[in-house]
Amino acid sequence: MSQAMTAAAAAAARVIAVASNSTFTAASSCLLLKTPFALKRGCNALSFNNGRRLSKRLFSCNALFYPLVQIKQEGQPETLDYRVFFEDTSGTKISPWHDVPLHMGDGVFNFIVEIPKESSAKMEVATDELYTPIKQDTKKGKLRYYPYNINWNYGLLPQTWEDPSLANNEVEAAFGDNDPVDVVEIGESQRKIGEILKVKPLAALAMIDEGELDWKIVAISLDDPRASLVNDVDDVEKHFPGTLTAIRDWFRDYKIPDGKPANKFGLGNRAANKDYALKVITETNESWAKLVQRSIPAGGLSLV
């Protein structure tokens, strides 16, 4: 079977699975991979020089293996051709956006790391490419870096989508940014590009970037030593004092060195609680399901 036919079959399977569950419950988010991921730790994702971190360099292993998913690189890091692909156990490419399940049950969600903490290369899922691999973002043909390191693990919630045709009346009627929902993971460990973590949401920040709504879900990995201490926004303030303000300020200001205005935040410029974060996840999961059913135009997005 050709790659195109395989991709089409996978996309069709997702549509059928979603369509069979109109309530968009957890079952609709576990379309291909239905059992929890167990992570195997290994290679460093960043390069080091005499113990010092090189802030712009993001080197990951040639293959990081999971029981259900393996991650493989194509091309060299920090080049325009570099891609991090996800494959199933048969070696078939799958999409980290569409094929990794969102829900793990009991309020736990899968989170895919795009940017490890204490690094600055702006890595992201390529939503317009076949199988949506992780790549380094570009601008005017050049690789993009943040002006300074990000202090948390950053990535996305699979099977979510911020609909650019949908205005949010609670957040200045801003429209979605056409991307999966972003996650800021506040645990102590530096993770790897493509690593899949089980996280619990704690809070939500409603960032408005050039008029577009760009949610930031604050979460913590279940394997973090302090995970049991934090279950809502107030716990973050207690056990990670100053973190929510630091996250807001970081995302507010990171474009200023490039001569752009500061980003804004809705919801009174404050982090909303866990229940609100879960509401955002539910709504964007529903939008994603409509997208893959093609009841909403996909535009240039890849549904494979």
- Side chain identity, residue 103: H
CB atoms within 10 A of CB 246: 14
Give the integer Cα–Cα distance in Å for 103 and 107.
8
Cβ atoms of 203 and 275 within 8 Å: the answer is: no
Q: Is 146 a catalytic residue?
A: yes
Residues 6+ apart with CB under 8 A from 199: 108, 109, 110, 111, 183, 185, 219, 220, 221, 222
Cβ atoms of 121 and 127 within 8 Å: the answer is: no
Cβ atoms of 204 and 272 within 8 Å: the answer is: yes
**Catalytic residue from among 146, 154, 254, 276:** 146
Q: Catalytic residue numbers?
A: 146
